[in-house]
Amino acid sequence: MPLQDWNPGLYQSDHSFVWRFGEDLVDLLDPRPGQRILDVGCGTGQLTEAIARRGAGVIGIDSSRNMIDEARRNNPQLDFRLEDATNFSLDQPVDAVFSNAALHWIRPPRDAARCMARALRVGGRLVVEFGGYGNVRAIVDALHSAVRHLRLDDSIMPEAKYFPSIAEYAGVLQEVGLEVRSALLFDRPTPLKSGKDGLRGWLRMFYSMVLDRLPPDQCEALLDNVEQRLNPILWRDDHWIADYRRLRIVAVRMAPDDATNGK
Ligand code: BEZ
């Protein structure tokens, strides 16, 4: 089940940094003609298209119907499928699994890792990036504090997203037969669009499941309070900077024997 109803229009306009930053992950993936690649959590399909442009065959999957519909509109010639990343299978294994800015939304992470490992041929590679340990901590802390300060019902807050450390995620991958070859956790301070409204826009995009449950006056009060709390930390000159931290992993599917010996 998707965690929220995505708005593909907003996602493609004000939040295009999500896939623009992902373009160097495509370089790391290094797709080649003749390879088959799976893009997990493909959203509106911009990086799926970037992979296809390099000559590889590509399948994009996402659990949001809105996103898949938009991806198909953007690139009708590509293979986009509505699939749950924790419960899917492919007829034929792929040479690589790719995922950008999606795996922090997907729970349980072990199930997603197992499906991704199963989709890979032995020796095939996993190249993924998503929010890592400490990602958007200032924003999330400010949201929680604002909810408490305004005495709102804190059950409106969603389950925390999955932002693992290197050690934690390496353990998850190892368990499903994927050997980690490189892992990097790094800060990626991310400028938000739309000047003073940038943080509101970001929250409206990614925390709509909270904001949509509040009457308009409470929603405004919450946004104002979050802005006040974050102004000293994340406001620079004329725009907001989101405190993103990324976990970037390259791993390889082990042969079943190697996977068992590694346990
Ligand atoms: C992220 O891409 O890091 C992210 C997106 C939405 C909410 C929190 C984090």
Q: What is the pLDDT of residues 203-254, one digit of tens each?
A: 999 999 999 999 999 999 999 999 999 999 999 999 999 999 999 999 999 9
Residue that is written with structure tokens 């797709």 in the block: 31
Measured by CA distance, the residue closest to atom 6 of ligand 1 is 206
Measured by CA distance, the residue closest to atom 5 of ligand 1 is 206
- List, in order, residues 6 or more apart from 84 with CB less than 8 Å away: 1, 63
DSSP string across 126-193: EEEEEE-TTTTHHHHHHHHHHHHHTT--GGGSPPPP----HHHHHHHHHHTTEEEEEEEEEEEEEEPS
Measure 203 CA to ligand 1 centroid, in angstroms: 10
Measure 206 CA to ligand 1 centroid, in angstroms: 7
Domains of the chain: 8-255 (3.40.50.150)
Q: What is the pLDDT of residues 131-155, one digit of tens each?
A: 999 999 999 999 999 999 999 998 9
- Ligand 1 neighbours, Cβ below 6 Å, are 101, 104, 131, 135-136, 161, 206, 244
Residue 205 CA, closest ligand 1 atom number: 6
The pTM assigned to this predicted structure is 0.92
> Can you list the residues of the chain whose pLDDT is less than 50?
1-2
Residue 161 CA, closest ligand 1 atom number: 8
CA angle 111, 204, 79 (to 5 degrees): 45
Q: Looking at this protein, which amino acid is placed at residue 31? A: P
pLDDT confidence of residue 258: 75
Give the pairing type, strands 57-62 and 94-100: unpaired
Measured by CA distance, the residue closest to atom 1 of ligand 1 is 131
Residue 101 CA, closest ligand 1 atom number: 2
